[in-house]
Amino acid sequence: MKNADLPSNYYITFAAILSTVFSLVLPWALTQWSITKLAHLILADADANFLINNYLPALQDAVSKVHLTFEEKKNVAGMFFGMIIKILYAFLW
């Protein structure tokens, strides 16, 4: 299984998902500050540097043209928390 061409470290994947949801729901300055702080707390240095220096600038360009209403932001946040609950349940199962 270790030789399979499958990712074995999902920290950066979950960090990218979290960054994307934050960028859709929160103002960019708050997103950048919170993701930077969380990345340095949770991720390895190489992963945190990739997320902060490569992923976040590309994400900022990608979401700069996306404008959501308050109701849409609330729905995105609700779906995100629903996904987190399902993932936690899957780990406990």
Residue 91: its pLDDT value, please?
A: 84
One-letter amino acid at 45 equals D
Residue located via tokens 């936690």: 88
* Closest by Cα among 35, 41, 40 to 18: 35
Domain ranges for the chain? 11-67
pTM of the model: 0.80
**pLDDT tens sequence across 68-79:** 999 999 999 999
Instruction: Tell me the C-alpha distance between 48 and 41, whole Å.
Output: 9
The pLDDT mean for the chain works out to 90
* Cβ contact 9:2 at 8 Å: no
The residue-averaged pLDDT of 14-28 equals 93
